[in-house]
A and B are shown apart, each in its own frame.
Chain A
Amino acid sequence: MYELLAAGIVNVVQVKYLLPLFLGTLAGVIGGALPGVTITMTIIVVLPFTFSLDPLQGLAAMTGVYVGGSAGGLVTAVLLGIPGSPSAIATTFDGHALARRGEPGRAVWLGIWASFFGGLLGGIVLIAATGPLAAIALQFGPWEFFSLFVLALSMVAGLAESSLLKGLVSGCLGLIVTVLGTDPVMGQDRLTLGIPFVRGGIDFLPVLIGVFAFSQVMGEIERRGGAAPIAEAGARTLRLAVSHSKVIWEIVSRPFQLMWYALVGVLIGVLPAIGGSAASMMAYDQAKKISPRPEAFGKGAPEGIIASEASNNANVGGSLVTIMAFGIPGDAVTAVMLGALTIHGIQSGPLFISQNAQLAYGIFAAYLLAHPLMVLILAVGARWMLRVVTVPKAALFPVVLVLCAIGAYALNNTMSNVYVLLAFGVLGYAMAKLGFPLAPFILGVILGDQIEINLVRSLMTDSNLWLFVTRPISALLLAMAVASIVLSIWQHRRMQEKAAAAEGAADF
């Protein structure tokens, strides 16, 4: 493993890989810093640029976006009090307070170095856990794979904030997209709706790009129009100089807390569709609970910044574990990465790491190297980030949508994918307006074919349905799926009771 990792690092430090990694990290940092522009939108914009690159170049660029984007939001969160990305919300609580107390440099650098160390700890888990997990998955038959995919879908649906039922409906809608076109077992046409280009099935990338890009861009247009800049750039004259050794010591002198925050991030990352914002909020909450001075939180406590940022970047490592070991994307960003793999004809899943060891360890190396690059970019450009946020959306959004159209068109040089992009853009916006979560929908689109193939394969091998619950691993996975749904119902009820109790208390 270590030889392969060393070879991966030697490979990625070549200019042809380092340059896309650097540019991806830069794009991620900028995208992360722009309020209203998410990492998903940034990676969608970067995607078409990777089509003509070799797989490792493209995935290095995307890994850079993911790592850079996870840290990029902290600069505006700390200096302006406006989180660039949802995952930087918890950083705002103490980061901005510390900056307002006259220590902006310390606040920014605590965040940057915490992201760096948290991300590297997440990387250790990524490298150590992916191989063994993939080896376990190699023992799976179609029954286990079917149950695993059902578990992933039920978890994502159950974790949807709005309601479990809406999450389940959304996941089913994603599965419906995959039944249109061709039967994956015998290649027979089905449910083509009379549309010629649906005969070959619908590519998931234009669906993903359409759903996420349009729901975000149109959501912003609906709320604020485009005339206003993303944020007013204040604080341009701030001095961010700081003693790095002191800041680093402030972080590493609490090794157990740092590891705990990183672990929270990794675990949240492994669970599908929860995301960096939940990871940073949970770690922040943990930091407050274990701190001897919880009253200092919200007033510029360094532990608050460290917890939020360390957990947020470790989350990236966790998300990459599931996609590399099982081929299940943990979030929209890794879903786009999965799409990039597919474009290059690489099959993700348990065999990925053994069949593409050079690429897999190249991704690990890119992940590790993206962290020092992220620190370098933020060291040079933190002040510039404040200028970037003054870009008017009127100029930014049409460019984003043009890049989405290019990304869809370039998949196979036909307009059909651009039509799919537009159709699913409308659907994605409508779903967002009706409160249907988008993550289960996308996971349904991605896993639909695999669910069908494994279900049909298992039934063709043996028509006994009891095998799904008598084979131990399959039974365990299905039990976990049921448990996740029951837990979600229980949590939802508890929240409703709390809300009702709060309302009752307010009445008196």
Chain B
Amino acid sequence: MKLSKDGWGGLAVLAASFALFSLTFELKPNPLVPIGPGFYPRAVLALTALFAAALVTLDLLRAKAERSPGPAANYAAVALHFAVFGLYVAALPWIGFRIATFAYVAATNALMDRPQAARGWLRVALVALATVLVTYFAFERYLLVLLPRGRWTDF
């Protein structure tokens, strides 16, 4: 018997529910109230595990129809864009909003639509610069919303 993505999803949720449920045994009951801090999480996790188990079981019992392959999804591009955003998030507290955002917008823009000539690179740089300037002035100067400062750059 082979699991479909429903079954795999259900299994992942089931595993996470069991892992978290085991952690609830570390929670000590509070002597001041009859219902301790573990009561509700246990109820929710048990319910989640029940539904996830039902999802896996139904998936195992269901006859799988042959699926025609849909349009190929570009998962490599998705992984790359998540990685670039992750780098951006990691860089923000070290080099600050302005430099990190310029680099992030330029990199993402270039990855999504690779520039073919100098004009293309100029467009990428201008979009990144405009994003930084507009967001910085709109938030920091006009809306008084503070943006991340860099520990290395001090701005």
Complex Cα distance, B54 from A393, in Å, reads 40
Cβ contact of A398, chosen from B23, B38, B89, B109, cutoff 8 A = B109
Q: Which residues of A contact B34 (CB under 8 A)?
A: 459-460, 463
Contact with A along B6-17 (1 / 0, CB 8 A): 101110010011
Q: Which residues of A contact B139 (CB under 8 A)?
A: 48-49, 406, 410
Whether A15 is near chain B, meaning CB under 8 Å from some CB there, is no
One of A105-113, A219-227, A242-250 contacting the partner: A219-227
Q: Which residues of B contact A193 (CB under 8 A)?
A: 23
Question: When A169-B51, A397-B108 are in contact, do A456 and B40 touch as well, CB less than 8 Å?
Answer: yes
Cβ contact of B30, chosen from A188, A217, A405, A455, cutoff 8 A = A188
Cβ contact of B48, chosen from A173, A405, A410, cutoff 8 A = A173
Question: When A52-B143, A221-B77 are in contact, do A179 and B92 touch as well, CB less than 8 Å?
Answer: no
Whether the Cβ atoms of A183 and B55 lie closer than 8 Å is no
Whether A429 is near chain B, meaning CB under 8 Å from some CB there, is yes
Q: Which residues of A contact B41 (CB under 8 A)?
A: 176, 179, 190-191
Cβ contact of A176, chosen from B20, B74, B93, B104, cutoff 8 A = B20
Question: When A409-B148, A418-B89 are in contact, do A188 and B37 touch as well, CB less than 8 Å?
Answer: yes
Whether A117 is near chain B, meaning CB under 8 Å from some CB there, is no
One of A258-266, A277-285, A419-427 contacting the partner: A419-427
User: Count of B residues near A, CB < 8 Å?
Assistant: 64
Whether A125 is near chain B, meaning CB under 8 Å from some CB there, is no
Whether the Cβ atoms of A435 and B5 lie closer than 8 Å is yes
Q: Which residues of A contact B27 (CB under 8 A)?
A: 188, 190-191
Complex Cα distance, B105 from A203, in Å, reads 26
Whether A436 is near chain B, meaning CB under 8 Å from some CB there, is yes
Whether A395 is near chain B, meaning CB under 8 Å from some CB there, is yes
- Please name the residue on chain A nearest to B23 by beta carbon: A191
B126 to chain A, nearest CB (A): 10
- Please name the residue on chain A nearest to B32 by beta carbon: A186
Whether the Cβ atoms of B113 and A434 lie closer than 8 Å is no
Complex Cα distance, B120 from A227, in Å, reads 12
Interface of B with A (CB < 8 Å)? 5-6, 8-10, 13, 16-17, 20, 23-24, 27, 30, 32-35, 37-41, 44-45, 47-48, 51-52, 54-55, 58, 71, 73-75, 77-78, 81-82, 85-86, 88-89, 92-93, 101, 104-105, 108-109, 112-114, 127, 131, 135, 138-139, 143-148
Interface of A with B (CB < 8 Å)? 48-49, 51-53, 163, 165-166, 168-169, 172-173, 175-176, 179, 183, 185-186, 188, 190-191, 193, 217-218, 221-223, 225-227, 392-395, 397-399, 401-403, 405-406, 409-410, 413, 415, 418-419, 421-422, 425-426, 429, 433-436, 448, 452, 455-456, 459-460, 463
